[in-house]
Amino acid sequence: MNKHTLNTLKNFFNLSSLRMFLLGFSSGLPILLVFSTLSVWLVKAGVNRSMVTMFSWAGLAYSFKFIWTPLVDNLKLPFGNFGHRKSWLIVSQIMIILSLVFLSFTDPSKALFMTALGAVLIAFSSATQDIIIDAYRIESAPQKFQGALSSMYIAGYRIAMLVAGAGSLLIASYLGTEFYDPTVWQIVYIIMAGLMLIGVITTFFSPEPNIRRRNNFVKLRDQLKFLLSFTFAIAIFVLCYSILENPFSNKEPFEKFLFAFLRIILCFISSSAVIYVLIKVKLIPKKSATNAYAKPISEFIDRYGKTAIFILLLIGFYRIADIVMGVVANIFYLEKGFNIKEIATYSKFFGVFATILGGLIGGFSAVKFGTIKALFFGALIAAASNLLFSWLAISEPSINALIIVITADNISSGFAGAAFVVYLSALTSIKFTATQYALFSSLMILFPKVIAGYSGSMVNFMGYSNFYIFTAILGIPVLILIIWIAKLAPVKE
């Protein structure tokens, strides 16, 4: 083992890496509780498949987080000597705890709207936490250490997913899931809320990043105007989305998707028009809006020029094969004949450790062989692994086959995820850490999540086997984009 390889490995085992592991745990715990675990709860409560997959749209909070990121970046909280990043981090973690408790007291079999509201609150709070943790990670160490920090963050993230996925399902199974009982899920979600204290304690004992921030803090009155204005803009987005009913609701999934895509664009235009009017009437200070949104975007475009559009396309579609496939995974396992205990053991438990292994290999490969090479290989194996699900769909139910498919899929997903986080970190300017990274990570899941919301309808139309082949094909344009961008804009390692 040469000196460079040894030094690279040492970066994975220091205090900063341990801290990112624990913060990764705090970041990863809520996400399955509004996706995978919640989908099992909904199925057990008698909610139909198409409605269950539409719950994945609660995750659009992760896509829209760039809207309120400037508030998180520029609104100074009055919490003594905690520091800007730490104070926001503690607030977001407490919000997650309260939202999980709220969701635990809902019953989707009787009041589905309240369950949806709880899921949205968790997603919003979790997305806010992610904004701060991403900025904290990038500001805490230079680029050469980001591979190690990203891998340890993903390891903690996946351990939390193990707890929130396999752990929650095992608890539910132990308490009894033969017949639907909302009390079972109430206990599960309250336990998960308690585990969020790990993040709170880690944040409390972590140092504030030692970096000189831009002095963009504005007066409280202007900050409140900013917050209220953009809250109103988001409300207009939601209102516009609810008013525009899909005329193709009884048509083919492709027609339904096209309308959904058009509806999203129209909603964005409506919200943007509202923001423009509010700036014109001076309810939103023009200078604050410019500093918050225009400068981070213009700085990125100035650095990359015409190549910026290809980079944004890559970011928007890199994880599409994973995300679209993943939404129906638990439903597929249940309909294939596997029970909750088997799903928890093989899909969540062993799958998480496979993902951690893939993440560590991906982070190491990004440092050792270069970010672009790791990025390409990650995209290739992430898309190819979906073909194994197509094989599983037409095979007889087998635990051994399930283990093989889940292991391969999670290793590839972990590898691709770690390589992609390193790439996004390299794209981010330290001057606009939170806003730019939030924009990138929001874009990363926006289009995949919109498409994923119709995955249940796609399965109804084409069947599981063809659906998984389709998701693998979605990864081909990503590989072409990576090759093209590698020639136009090499990453500074």
CATH value at residue 475: 1.20.1250.20
Please give the pLDDT value at position 46.
83
Q: What is the pLDDT of residues 359-383, one digit of tens each?
A: 888 888 887 788 888 999 999 998 8
What is residue 355's predicted lDDT score, i.e. its pLDDT?
A: 83
Average pLDDT value for residue range 176-205: 90
Residue 216: per-residue pLDDT: 53
Residue 186 and residue 155 share a domain: yes
Return the pLDDT at 188.
Answer: 94
Residue type, position 387, single letter:
L
Is pLDDT at 104 greater than 90 in this prediction?
yes
Question: Which residue type does 373 have?
Answer: K
Average pLDDT, the chain: 80
280-289: long-range contacts at Cβ-Cβ below 8 A with a sequence spacing of 24 or more?
283/225, 283/229, 284/225, 284/226, 284/229, 285/218, 285/222, 285/225, 285/226, 288/74, 288/218, 288/222, 288/226, 289/226
| Per-residue confidence (pLDDT) for residue 208, from 0 to 100 | 86
pLDDT band at 5 (very low <50, low <70, confident <90, very high): low
Domain of 229? 219-284
Retrieve residue 294's tokens: 């225009």
How would residue 141 be classed by pLDDT, with cut points 50, 70 and 90? Answer: confident
Average of pLDDT values for 350-364? Answer: 83
Residue 451 pLDDT > 80, yes or no? no
The reply to whether 255 and 365 lie within a common domain is no
pLDDT at residue 221, rounded to an integer: 67
**pTM, to two decimals:** 0.72
Inside any domain, residue 159? yes
59: in domain: yes
At residue 59 the predicted structure's pLDDT band, cuts being 50, 70 and 90, is low
**Long-range contacts formed by 214-220: CB under 8 A, 24+ apart:** 214/431, 216/73, 216/74, 216/291, 216/292, 217/74, 217/75, 217/76, 218/74, 218/285, 218/288
Q: Are residues 86 and 214 in the same domain?
A: yes
Q: What is the mean pLDDT of residues 214-234?
A: 65
Same domain, 128 and 241: no
The verdict on residue 4 lying in a domain is no
Is 261 part of a structural domain of the chain? yes
Residue type, 91: V
Q: Are residues 115 and 255 in the same domain?
A: no
Domain final residue, candidates 240, 261, 284? 284
Q: How many CA atoms lie within 13 A of 419 on its CB side?
A: 31
Q: pLDDT grade, residue 98 (50/70/90)?
A: very high
Q: What pLDDT score does 29 carry?
A: 93
What is the C-alpha separation between 36 and 349, in angstroms, rounded?
14
Q: Which of 50-64, 110-124, 284-298, 307-321 has the lowest mean pLDDT?
A: 50-64
Question: Is residue 208 packed enough to be buried (19+ CB in 10 Å), middle (13-18) or exposed (0-12)?
Answer: middle
Task: Tell me the C-alpha to C-alpha distance, in Å, between residue 52 and each of 218, 327, 373.
Answer: 42, 9, 37
Mean pLDDT of 54-73: 71
pLDDT of residue 197: 95
Of 230, 261, 284, which residue sits at a domain end? Answer: 284
Do 151 and 58 share a domain, yes or no? yes
Whether residue 82 is found in the same domain as residue 132? yes
Res. 8: pLDDT tops 90: no
pLDDT at 311 over 80: yes
In this prediction, residue 149 has a pLDDT band, given cuts at 50, 70 and 90, of confident
- Say yes or no to pLDDT of 23 above 90: yes
Whether residues 196 and 344 share a domain: the answer is yes
Same domain, yes or no, for 271 and 409?
no
Same domain for 458 and 343: yes
Mean pLDDT of 405-410: 87
- Each residue's pLDDT tens digit, 432-446: 777 777 778 777 777
Domain-located, residue 1: no
Q: Are 116 and 45 in contact (CB under 8 A)?
A: no
Q: Mean pLDDT lowest for which of 41-55, 213-227, 393-407?
A: 213-227
Instruction: Say if residue 28 is in the same domain as residue 55.
Output: yes
Flag whether 60 is in a domain.
Answer: yes
- Number of structural domains (the chain) is 2
With a cut of 90, say whether residue 306 has pLDDT above it: no
- 412 and 480: one domain? yes
Give the C-alpha separation, 348 to 37, whole Å. Answer: 10
Tell which of 245, 260, 284 closes a domain. 284
Judged against a pLDDT cut of 60, whether residue 248 lies above it is answered with: no
Say how many residues make up the chain: 493
| 254-270 confidence digits (pLDDT tens) | 566 667 667 777 877 88
Which has the higher per-residue pLDDT, 83 or 456?
A: 83
Asked if residue 493 belongs to a domain, the reply is no
Whether the pLDDT of residue 125 is over 80: the answer is yes
State how far the Cα of 154 lies from the Cα of 447, in Å rounded to an integer. Answer: 22
At 95 the pLDDT is 95
Residue bearing the bigger pLDDT, 214 or 141: 141
In angstroms, rounded to a whole number, what is the distance separating the alpha carbons of residues 299 and 430? 11
What share of the chain in percent tops pLDDT 90? 16
Cα separations in angstroms, 193 against 98, 124, 128, 159: 8, 15, 17, 16
User: Is 6 within the bounds of a domain?
Assistant: no
